[in-house]
Amino acid sequence: MQFGTKAIHAGQEPDPVTGAIMPPIYQTSTFVQEAPGQHKGYAYARGKNPTRAALERNLAALENAQFGLCFSSGMGAIDAVIKLLAPGDEVITSDDVYGGTYRMFEKVFASFGIRFHFIDLHDEALLKSTINEKTKLLWVETPTNPLLKVIDIRQMAALAKAHHLMLAVDNTFSSPYLQNPLDLGADIVMHSATKYLGGHSDVVMGALCLNDEALYQRLAFIHNSCGATPGPMDSFLVLRGIKTLHLRMKAHCYNGRLIAEFLKAHPKVGKVYWPGFEDHAGHAIAKSQMRDFGGMISFTLQGDDYDKAMKVATSTHLFSLAESLGGVESLIGHPASMTHASIPKEERLRFGVVDGLLRLSVGVEEVEDLIADLEQALEQI
Ligand SMILES: *Cc1c(COP(=O)(O)O)cnc(C)c1O
């Protein structure tokens, strides 16, 4: 079945009682039992809820997975994966991993005796020399935030396999429409469903998808035991959002390409980071593992000036100044003062988050209007 058909139908049946075409929002905490332990598969809503179960089946289908688990946030999903580990275990991830992930690893789990290595995953020699007998997990994001670096998932999977590591891929930036990491050899795929999956900036949710049943049972146990489970209303909203995921992603990619090209040709713009450009360092790998190049774009201004970047970020009318990404509405952000503000300046400069860098989450408005908005904002400097 094609992606768009799965997005609309997978995991859902008309309601057997009423024929409702959409899964009802089962707003209930518990389920009546005929005798102790005798129930219809649902006992208590933290463990399992029918609205959430429909979403989990749907998401699993989109990632070509056997199993899906939804969490109350993307961070809740990452937290569950790290709880598979034990004190003494080590994790390798990239030095430009999502800020919230960095914070959870370093400020929460490091004090539980888990060691995290933040390295440049393109440096194969360094990667190999960092792996030791305590390494259990390789945590990868691609494309990365905010510089849209592309990591070769097949290469990471081969390395993980050779060293008996688990490979988890945060697929938030791509969405399952653009990239399916399990097909490329990953063990676990993670999403912040808050972003493209929900797609309407109205819900916070996370998800894990995977194929290994034993690993699924361990994660489902952590899910229920630790309790970062989403409510039925939020599950419904994401299920509804996913029905247009393929249509939205096509529009994000179309608008993304035209805006990336507009920026590249603009005299006040310096570098433009977008994996669809043939001269982007990760273009060939992106082409081999993604269906298209998405609507996330970062760019610098000529002269790399903090004040000018701030001026542009506050002069747009359609691009709203906000954290987050992946909604139908376009957003603009200034990583140096927003998403990466907590990282020491020397460190963020080292991996390219300069003062004049701006990040766009290109929405699905009409692209002529978006370009005109950027044009007038660039005229202000
Ligand atoms: C937003 C985001 C997260 C965290 O997800 P929440 O839903 O905000 O908890 C993790 N990884 C990436 C790449 C993200 O963009």
**Is 90 exceeded by the pLDDT of residue 317?**
yes
Q: From the CA of 156, how far away is ligand 1's center (Å)?
A: 21
Helix or strand (DSSP H, E) at 223 = helix 213-226
Residue nearest to atom 1 of ligand 1 (CA): 192
Task: Determine the Cα–Cα distance for residues 153 and 158; give it in Å rounded to an integer.
Answer: 9
Question: For residue 314, what pLDDT is reported?
Answer: 97
Task: Determine the Cα–Cα distance for residues 147 and 272; give it in Å rounded to an integer.
Answer: 9
Average pLDDT along the chain: 97
**Is 80 exceeded by the pLDDT of residue 270?**
yes
**Is 80 exceeded by the pLDDT of residue 342?**
no
**Is 90 exceeded by the pLDDT of residue 344?**
no
Residue nearest to atom 15 of ligand 1 (CA): 172
Lowest mean pLDDT among 101-105, 129-133, 237-241, 336-340: 336-340
Mean pLDDT of 297-321: 97
Considering the four listed CATH numbers 3.90.45.10, 3.40.50.300, 3.90.1150.10, 3.40.50.970, the one that applies to the domain covering 245-378 is 3.90.1150.10
Residues 6+ apart with CB under 8 A from 10: 1, 57, 58, 61, 62
Establish whether 46 is a catalytic residue.
yes
Could you tell me the sign of the dihedral formed by the alpha carbons of 49, 54, 56, 57, in that order? Answer: positive
Ordered by start, the domain boundaries in the chain are: 3-242, 245-378
Q: CATH topology of 3-242 equal to that of 245-378? A: no
Task: Determine the Cα–Cα distance for residues 362 and 357; give it in Å rounded to an integer.
Answer: 16
Task: Determine the Cα–Cα distance for residues 65 and 5; give it in Å rounded to an integer.
Answer: 16
Question: For residue 106, what pLDDT is reported?
Answer: 94
Over residues 220-239, the pLDDT tens digits come to: 999 999 999 999 999 999 99
Q: From the CA of 252, how far away is ligand 1's center (Å)?
A: 19
Helix or strand (DSSP H, E) at 298 = strand 296-301
Establish whether 170 is a catalytic residue.
yes
pTM, two decimal places: 0.97
Instruction: Tell whether ligand 1 has an atom less than 6 A from the beta carbon of residue 100.
Output: yes
* 3-242 maps to CATH 3.40.640.10: yes
Q: Answer yes or no: are the C-beta atoms of 364 and 326 closer than 8 Å.
A: no
Which of 163, 359, 335, 362 lies closest to 273 in space, CA to CA? Answer: 359
